[in-house]
Amino acid sequence: MKTNQDMIVNIGNNHTIKIGHLNRIGRLSDIFTIGNIYRLSEGLREVSISEWLRKENVWEFIYEVEIKYGDKMQSVDSTLCILEYKNKSGQIDYSKLIKQFSVIKSQRGGKPENRGVWANLYILLKAGAYLSPKLELEIYEVFINHKILEWRDIGGDNYKELNIAINTLPDRKDKNNHGIFIQVAKQFRKKLEILDSRGYNKEEHNSLIQETRAKWLNNLIFAIDTELIISYKQLIETLEKLK
């Protein structure tokens, strides 16, 4: 998909973070909320975002993420850049330094749900590792092992490709199929038991749902392209049999 979709991703049993499925920019504030809940349950003190962002080694890592995945500071020496923002106590003045990066940003205005500090997935992972081994593993599981963002992207692309394929069916060729697209989408949500919410960006739409949707869509596209499915009725019948 070319359009970035903000997803609500479930972390652990009762926690979520908001993250873009294409730009992979998520709310660092969510990571610290979850991490501090875990820390308190383990008898450890809370750690604020401010405390973490004052550390020089954190910004050395952020710089490397910027070089590979960002669009700023491509030719600036990391040591010189970071040293410029050190205060007299040796801590980083992150409120000024953050403005030099694209892989991390702070938003104070706008809708409440969009406020806070946002950062690239790799930075979220580094913060999770610093806060709690449990949280670090959960982030690995969801984003690295289960690949929820990749499956969301593939599913979105496959949905568009299925609509194109539907337009080639003999009984749907040269017709307005907008209503058909909606019906097929509803049928998918029914099969996946997610009729109570629209789209595929909610926390209940876990990696298994994202992967299953993408694979089912791909199977139907293949069947239409190879003329195993030659009508809209046959498409719906086949969709019902998918497992």
Q: Are residues 135 and 48 in the same domain?
A: yes
At 210, give phi and psi (nearest 5°): -60, -45
59 and 168 inside one domain = no
What's the domain range around 202? 148-241
- CA 232 to CA 234: how far, in whole Å? 5
208 and 94 housed in the same domain: no
234, part of any domain: yes
Q: 14 and 127: one domain?
A: yes
Helices (H) and strands (E) in the chain, counts: 11, 5
- Looking at the structure, do residues 84 and 171 belong to the same domain, yes or no? no
Question: Both 98 and 173 in a single domain?
Answer: no
The answer to whether residue 1 is domain-embedded is no
pLDDT at residue 76 greater than cutoff 60: no
Pair 100, 83 in one domain = yes
End residue of a domain, out of 112, 145, 178: 145
- Higher-pLDDT residue of 72 and 129 is 129
Kindly state whether residues 136 and 57 are assigned to the same domain.
yes
Same domain, 17 and 134: yes
Q: Hey, what are 7's tokens?
A: 């997803």
What mean pLDDT is predicted for residues 11-28? Answer: 89
Dihedral (Cα; 19, 190, 154, 101), 10-degree rounding: -10
pLDDT tens by residue, 35-66: 999 999 999 999 999 999 999 899 989 999 99
Dihedral (C-alpha) 133, 134, 136, 141: value to the nearest 10 degrees? 140
The per-residue pLDDT for range 132-189, each reduced to its tens digit, is 999 999 999 988 888 888 878 788 888 889 999 999 999 999 999 999 988 888 888 8
Q: Could you say which of 101, 125, 145 is where a domain stops?
A: 145
Last residue of a domain, one of 123, 145, 167: 145
Name the domain count of the chain: 2
- Non-local (6+) Cβ contacts of 132 within 8 A are 35, 38, 39, 42
Instruction: Using CA atoms of 189, 195, 201, 206 in order, give the dihedral in degrees to the nearest 10.
Output: -70
Q: Does residue 198 register a pLDDT over 70?
A: no
Residues 67 and 158 in one domain: no
Q: Verify that 16 and 91 share a domain, yes or no.
A: yes
Angle between helices 56-69 and 121-131 (to 10 degrees): 160
